[in-house]
Amino acid sequence: MDIVLLGSGNVATHLGDALVQAGHRIKQVYSRTAAHAQALANRLDAAVTADLTAVDAQADVYILAVKDDALAAIAAQLRGKQGVIVHTAGSVDMAVLAKYATDYGVLYPVQTFSKAKAVDFSTIPMAVEASGTTAWERLEILAGSLSGYVFYCDSQQRLSLHAAAVFACNFTNHLYAIAADILHEHGLDFDLIRPLILETAQKVMAHQPKEVQTGPAVRNDVRTMEKHLELLADDPALAHLYRLISGRIG
């Protein structure tokens, strides 16, 4: 398909790479920041613009991979385009596009993207929502060309999926950061728990988390929890978090 990609952040970059790899043509990249637009356009062998009024009118799909707050304003500028207009946001209702397009939808890849690391799109679940048959058929083909795991997901479900992802990814990463701080404070390297972190994730690839819960809280091992709380005593907020999560588990 011929695609216009709006945005130049992590999602736009990773998605752009995957689309090119899947054989699609990125006709044009738009970004408010001309330098970012140019860098991504070069990477994707695409034309480029930093001017919304100059966006190509002949694409099959317009993908808005921009900040949530910018979606409505950018969609407004795409009024009258023939292609399907989609956004990629986890927490924004599809209806944000309704005023500005006939055929529209959402293409939400359930993954975390960072500049630091390439990702394999073929295993990323793709949540698709569409305004009608035309948009659905095009988006299903597009998503299916990227990933083996495409599913229908309405806006409310997508919001819940995004909230779940915050717990399983963003908050989890913060727990890793807490662990790194504790280790650092006692002269120990974060390397020491890297195998444990990987094993903990790998374990739930084949099991439900509740089935494989381990640790002092689930054993109601009060003495060990007290020792940990004593260790954390100089950081009452952290000790509170320890108590709170232990209480939920136990």
Q: 105 to 124, contacts with a second copy by CB under 8 A?
A: 110-114, 116-117, 119, 123-124
User: Could you give the CA distance from residue 41 to residue 31 in angstroms, rounded to a whole number?
Assistant: 10
Where does this chain touch a second copy (CB under 8 A) — which range of 30-38, 71-79, 129-137, 186-194?
Answer: 186-194
Rounded to 5 degrees, what are φ and ψ at 82? -80, -30
Residues 52-111 close enough to bind a second copy by CB under 8 A: 68-69, 90-91, 110-111
Q: Does 237 bind a second copy (CB under 8 A)?
A: yes
Using alpha carbons, select from 35, 100, 22 the residue that is nearest to residue 64: 100
* Shortest Cβ 19–a second copy spacing (Å): 19
Tell which one of 39, 77, 144, 176 touches a second copy (CB under 8 A).
176
Q: Does 199 bind a second copy (CB under 8 A)?
A: yes
Q: Does 143 bind a second copy (CB under 8 A)?
A: no
Where does this chain touch a second copy (CB under 8 A) — which range of 23-31, 41-49, 99-107, 177-185?
Answer: 177-185
Using CB under 8 A as the binding criterion, the count of chain residues that bind a second copy stands at 92
Q: Does 33 bind a second copy (CB under 8 A)?
A: no
* Shortest Cβ 84–a second copy spacing (Å): 23
Q: Does 175 bind a second copy (CB under 8 A)?
A: yes
Tell which one of 214, 220, 233, 243 touches a second copy (CB under 8 A).
214
* Shortest Cβ 51–a second copy spacing (Å): 26
Tell which one of 167, 220, 234, 236 touches a second copy (CB under 8 A).
167
